[in-house]
A and B are shown apart, each in its own frame.
Chain A
Amino acid sequence: MSATLVRPSQALTALPLECASCGRPHDAGPSHVCPECLGPLEPKYDVDRHLPDRAEIAARPRSLWRYREWLPFTGRPVRCLNAGWTPLIDAPRLASALGVSRCLVKHDAGSFPSLSFKDRVVASALNAAHAFGLPVVGCASPGNLANAVAAAAAREGLEAWIFIPHDLEPAKVAATAIFGPRLVRVRGTYDDVNRLCAQVADRFGWGIVNVNLRAYYGEGSKTAAFEIAEQLGWRLPDAVVAPMAGGSLLTKLAKGFGEFLDARLVNGVSPRLYGAQAEGCAPIVRLVERGDDTLIPEKPNTIAKSLAIGNPADGRSAARLIRSSGGWAAAVSDAEIVEGIRLLAETTGIFGETAAGVTVAAARALARNGKLTADDEVVLCITGNGLKTTDAVSGSIDIPEPIAPRLSEVSALIQA
């Protein structure tokens, strides 16, 4: 991380909101629901604002704030100034395995500070919390968001309340608890935790990043699309494959690519978008496959806990955008997820979490059925780090018996 700190020269202000469903305007605030129709609120940008050109962006510090005109604030950000700008890594051996022309990995598994793409959305949400003067932040999370909020809150000196399902992977619990938040383990699924947190945000007035700060939080995901475009030399790939939980990442990638096209920072057409889920929780994939507009919620049952949202808030939007982009979606089994983690590791040197296994395995399935072709340049969004979900792969890895510290024993291994 080489980002230079940006010193605020103008007070940070959050943008006003508008309802994505009925279009009514709303004041800026820690609110995610339209009081008229209960639809989701989105930030409303000033279409006449100054937008930087390529050179201006390129001269800025290497963090997601280099794209601040497309984030939901005016003035200078004050928190999480080092988030973003993860590498886009060429993966020729993975491209060969998939049978595509070129494959690149957007390596958010190495994101600062908490090794997942959630550092992007938390950077945006915690600046919103600052703008609204909220002293307490929190989240409902199956892991990565918990890590990201706890880490960022510790760095910024904020009180954090983190709500997680009781059966989370031990590494993800430890990677949250180490930052000293108020950690609340809830007996139930992630959907249960989300419901509880919606009620907590409603009653206690805290800044729950993925509930009442959701309108500001989600915009942070767009920066992955901006970085992909800039890191490719100000152009867009043919296809992007991303994991889907609530569906927000995919919708924000589409929005980000569209905004860069609108700003004429890139030319051509938006990439085809491909969504990946686990078979044990694939309501968005099934919606894409059915082709209708009614999301049918599911009871999650998969090792990919970070994607186990049976009632995805942005599922319908994600499915619509996937279809309109010319892309598709794929669901993969738990066994294929483990194979995907291994394929990524063995061909790129990157250890991704279960969501990464979903993404790689789905890309392989999409290539096998002709959705991704030999001419395609494909970006895979690897959103979380494998060190958080080692349990998922431990059963598939051969751990050798120890040897005595003698050269003869190594020779025997070579000859075996």
Chain B
Amino acid sequence: MPVLSLPSVLTPLTGGQHTIPATGTTVGEALDDVVRRFPALSPRLRDEHGAPYPFVTIYLNDEDIRFIGGFEAALQSSDELSVVPAVAGG
């Protein structure tokens, strides 16, 4: 089953869980599944129009989902989704 990995700043909304199993065949479906169980996460992951925030990147394994179809990107059972807030340059 795919898992969603969250930054610590969001774990108060998931009972302290950093990693949450998710069902779905696409990234969007997996996020929908997690949000059903943790509704408070919903506005942290997507804006009111359901679009991604510009300062939050969602990765499917090592790939920014914006390069591979966004929320429509296909999920495999061994995949890991990660929510990573933007960082500065270096």
Contacts and interface: CB of A to CB of B under 8 A. Distances in A.
B10 A217 contact: no
A210 B55 CA distance: 15
Q: Is the interface of B mostly helix, strand, loop or mixed?
A: mixed
Interface stretch (A31-39, A360-368, A372-380): A31-39
B90 A245 contact: yes
B57 to A, nearest CB: 6
Given A195-B82, A195-B84, A142 B9 contact: no
B56 interface: yes
Interface residues of B, number: 26
A31 B8 CA distance: 11
A35 B40 CA distance: 12
Contacts of B66: 296-297
B8 to A, nearest CB: 5
Contact of B64 (A190, A191, A247): A191
B89 A246 contact: yes
A239 to B, nearest CB: 22
Interface stretch (A49-57, A93-101, A309-317): A309-317
A248 B89 contact: yes
A217 B89 CA distance: 11
Contact of A217 (B44, B55, B57, B88): B88
B90 A146 contact: yes
Contacts of A31: 9
A248 B67 CA distance: 23
Contact of A35 (B10, B53, B55, B56): B10
A214 interface: yes
A281 to B, nearest CB: 11
Interface string A192-205: 10110111001100
A218 B55 CA distance: 16
B68 to A, nearest CB: 11
B44 A248 contact: no
> Which of B43, B57, B59 has most chain A Cβ within 10 Å?
B57
A144 interface: yes
Given A33-B7, A195-B84, A202-B7, A247 B90 contact: no
A37 B89 contact: no
Nearest to B85: A33
Interface of B: 5, 7-10, 12, 43-44, 53-57, 59, 62, 64, 66-67, 82, 84-90
Interface of A: 21, 31-35, 37-40, 118, 139-142, 144-146, 188, 190-192, 194-195, 197-199, 202-203, 210-211, 214, 217-218, 245-249, 294-297, 299, 309, 311-314, 316
29 contacts: A33-B85, A37-B44, A38-B9, A38-B10, A38-B56, A38-B85, A40-B86, A118-B90, A141-B90, A145-B90, A146-B90, A188-B62, A192-B62, A194-B87, A195-B84, A202-B7, A202-B8, A202-B9, A245-B89, A246-B88, A246-B89, A246-B90, A247-B89, A248-B89, A296-B66, A299-B67, A309-B89, A311-B86, A316-B54
